[in-house]
Amino acid sequence: MAAPRPARRTARLLVGLALGALLFLLLVRALGVERGTVLTLLVGALPLTLTAVYPLLAGALALRSRVLTALALVVVAGQVAVVVPTLGAAPVPARARTAARLRVVTANLYVLNEDPEATGRALRALHPDVLVVPELTVAGQAALRASGLLDDLPFDAGGLGGRAEGVGLFSRLPLTATALHPIGVRLLPRATVRVGGVDVRLLAGHPLPPFGPWESLWRTALTDLAREVRSTPGPVVVAGDLNADRDHAALRRVLGTGLRDAADERGHGVSRTWPAGHPLLQLDHVLVRDGGGTRLVVLDERAVRVPGTDHRAVLADLAVLPPR
């Protein structure tokens, strides 16, 4: 029995408005013009946000509306265009299986962490060669040391630099050319690590989040990071809480420098890292770029739940293939 005409009109209006909102988000993403906290968050979570199209498509079919059905199918096509390119794992060359390895882990320690020592024990169990720790405090670093984690990672790039909070960069392997580099309004650690006879440049990242008055600072930091990557020779690894998802235009410009997201390389494009319990956004990344004839091949990548923090850690196993 058909619904009364007023009810059908109301249903069509509601479905049409919802589909219009999703189409608007796709357009914003395509043009790279997200502005404001709410819109930036919705665009960052676009693969999840767009799943709302499927009940709307069912509603359009039930209403027998060709126009609404067509609009819903356009949104479905948009979601496929956004998500599918990140789901195919890149091929791994045979010689990568026997090449020198580098395990990179990034884990936001969380300034409100009530048990950073437990976080440290969980991170130690991941056996990182290089560890990037955003939201590191003096107390947090002491807790990581008490956990035994820093016994395994005796080299560091001085991420706190005498400040109360910063980003730590720790390594199992010796570090050279260590420095604190201004990116946006933060000083972030940089270092070089030698793997299999090849120097790999390590860049830590942690822009301010794109909330309210910080939004312009967030964009500036990612612009600075892209500029630094372009000016850095040789193979590069960028790791940290970038407070940005690949659907944000600011991060796509960083990736436009030749960096590749380790999650995409292994076909984990729908992986999310924040908030830790029910993640909606992929804010934490390990990005790699080849250089100087050296290839950085992503062998494995995964998001890992660790106690005490509101982010999931990201682990990436890299093979370093020097020039032949």
Mean pLDDT of the chain: 94
Any idea which residue has 């794109």 for tokens?
210
Residue 130: phi and psi, rounded to 5, are -130, 135
Q: What is the pLDDT of residues 39-85, one digit of tens each?
A: 999 999 999 999 999 999 999 999 999 999 999 999 999 999 999 98
Torsion sign, CA atoms 28, 30, 33, 35:
positive
Whole-angstrom distance, CA of residue 132 vs CA of residue 314:
10
**236 three-state secondary structure:** strand
Please provide the distance, in angstroms rounded to a whole number, between the alpha carbons at the two ends of the chain: 73
82, 109 Cβ separation under 8 angstroms: no
What pLDDT score was predicted for residue 160? Answer: 77
- Sequence-ordered list of residues with C-beta below 8 angstroms from that of 221, at least 6 positions apart, any chain: 183, 184, 185, 186, 207, 208
Provide the Cα torsion 144, 145, 149, 151; round to 10°. Answer: 170
In the chain the domains, ranked by start, together with CATH numbers, are 5-86 (no CATH), 98-321 (3.60.10.10)
What pLDDT score was predicted for residue 4? Answer: 59
Whole-angstrom distance, CA of residue 136 vs CA of residue 116:
10
- Is residue 38 over pLDDT 80? yes
Residues linked to residue 186 through DSSP beta bridges, in sequence order = 183
What's the one-letter identity of residue 125?
A
Element (H, E) at 202: strand 198-205
What pLDDT score was predicted for residue 1? Answer: 47
- Is residue 226 over pLDDT 90? yes
- Sequence-ordered list of residues with C-beta below 8 angstroms from that of 183, at least 6 positions apart, any chain: 205, 207, 221, 224, 225, 228
What pLDDT score was predicted for residue 19? Answer: 97
Read off the pLDDT of each residue in 136-156 and give the average, rounded to a whole number.
96
Read off the pLDDT of each residue in 109-132 and give the average, rounded to a whole number.
97
What's the one-letter identity of residue 297?
V
Element (H, E) at 201: strand 198-205
How far is C-alpha 277 from the geometric centre of its chain's CA atoms?
16
Q: Confidence class of residue 3 from pLDDT cuts 50, 70 and 90?
A: low
Angle at 163 between CA 160 and CA 167, to 5 degrees: 35
Closest alpha carbon to 172 in 147, 197, 193, 155 = 155
- Is residue 159 over pLDDT 80? no
Q: What is the pLDDT of residues 162-201, one digit of tens each?
A: 777 899 999 999 999 999 999 999 999 999 999 999 999 9
What pLDDT score was predicted for residue 246? Answer: 93
Q: What is the pLDDT of residues 235-248, one digit of tens each?
A: 999 999 999 999 99
50, 82 Cβ separation under 8 angstroms: yes
Tell me 4's DSSP state.
P
Helix (H), strand (E) counts: the chain:
11, 12
Q: pTM of this prediction?
A: 0.94
